[in-house]
Amino acid sequence: MLREKPILYIVIPCYNEEEVLPVTAPMFKAKIESLVASGLIDDGSRILFVNDGSRDRTWEVLTELCASDPVFTAIKLSRNRGHQNALLAGLMEAKDLADITISIDCDGQDDIDAMDEMVRAYNDGCEIVYGVRSDRSSDSFFKRSTAQGYYKILNALGGEVIYNHADYRLVSSRVLNELANYKEVNLFLRGMFPMIGFKSTCVEYSRHERLAGKSKYPLSKMLTLAFDGITSFSVKPIRIITGLGALTVVLSLVLIIYALVSWATGHVVPGWSSSFIGTTLIGGIQLISLGVIGEYVGKIYMETKGRPRYIVEERTWSNTDGGESGEKM
Ligand code: UDP
Ligand code: MG
């Protein structure tokens, strides 16, 4: 299938990125220009930054960029909502303006030269093109091993995620219109796109070090995203608990028989250690189980509120339409 030249929007969430933006923004601009020059995309293509409630001069840097060149556009969220929500905000803005979007971090870690192949894959009929890291050598040993273990666990639990794919991907506006129907507030975008379906493919790229600034994903945020990923896509942890419960019941039946036999044969006093071990073990399992169930109850609580996932405070282009502000989309 041969498609018309698409309008591309590169969607880039930014949180406290004043240091890296002056370095990477010209790179993204050059990429758009080269894609236009090679006839892959329409010259109405743009870069859309999402300022995720930065506390530094990020918004000033972005507005200066937008004033300097029409290829840059930006929106400002009313406060920090986290990477996933910021990305969703950008994608929802772009879905009515573009034919295709590519989401990427603003720190230059993901190789922008993979975009050519992504657009070509779209021209060949793919609606989603996942950027997949070919190696993880730029990561610390800790991040590398935890990330790989995590992908394995998530897939074993039934969540469908693409191995070594983060949020660097091309998505067509057609897919984004479907994504708009997914109203969940516990967002894990990389797990949602495979669920939407359509023809998709993967493009490999190598990941570099951050060009400037520090990671905005401390361990705590990474763990939150990891838990959200599991509990938003799988009820297996609850099933595992049920299984553990059944196992504990069987084990305690054996213990009861043992206790009765000991009682009948007169060996009752030395039972203290075994009963102590039993109660503590079961107490621990019960607490963990309550925690996991509580995790899901908490999610239901947040979902039933149906609060907006982000609020757009400002756009650098004139758009009188109030957008999603104040409404859950
Ligand atoms: N980010 C964001 N909101 C946040 C945290 C991060 O928009 O609350 C953006 C950040 O500016 C960057 C991207 O998400 O463009 C990925 O963050 P980072 O590079 O710090 O994560 P890492 O690559 O270290 O996992
Ligand atoms: Mg990064």
Q: How is the chain split into domains, by residue range?
A: 8-216+308-328, 236-305
Which residue puts its alpha carbon closest to atom 25 of ligand 1? 217
Is residue 49 a contact partner of residue 74, using CB atoms and an 8 Å limit? yes
Question: Which ligand has the shortest distance to the CA of 143?
Answer: 1
Cβ(90) to ligand 1 under 6 A? Answer: no
DSSP structural state of residue 110 = B
Q: Specify the CATH superfamily of domain 8-216+308-328.
A: Spore Coat Polysaccharide Biosynthesis Protein SpsA; Chain A (3.90.550.10)
Cβ pair 186, 228 in contact under 8 A:
yes
* pLDDT value at residue 273: 65
Measure the CA–CA gap between 16 and 22, rounded to whole angstroms.
Answer: 13
What averages of pLDDT result for each successive group of 10 residues across the chain (329 residues)? Answer: 83 95 95 94 95 95 94 95 95 95 93 94 95 79 80 80 89 95 88 91 86 79 80 78 80 80 75 70 79 82 84 82 45
CA of 215 to the centre of ligand 2 (A): 6
- For residue 80 and ligand 1, the question of a CB distance below 6 A is answered with yes
Ligand 1 neighbourhood includes 106 CB (under 6 angstroms): yes
Query: How far is Cα 270 from Cα 179, in angstroms, rounded to an integer?
Result: 62
pLDDT at 322: 44
Q: Cα(132) to centroid of ligand 1, in Å?
A: 18
pTM of the entire structure?
Answer: 0.76
Q: Is 215 in the pocket of ligand 1 (CB under 6 A)?
A: yes
Are 145 and 222 spatial neighbours (Cβ–Cβ below 8 Å)?
no
Alpha-carbon span 35 to 45, nearest angstrom: 9
The reported pLDDT for the residue numbered 162 is 85
Q: Are 176 and 92 in contact (CB under 8 A)?
A: yes
Q: Which atom of ligand 1 is nearest to the CA of 86?
A: 7
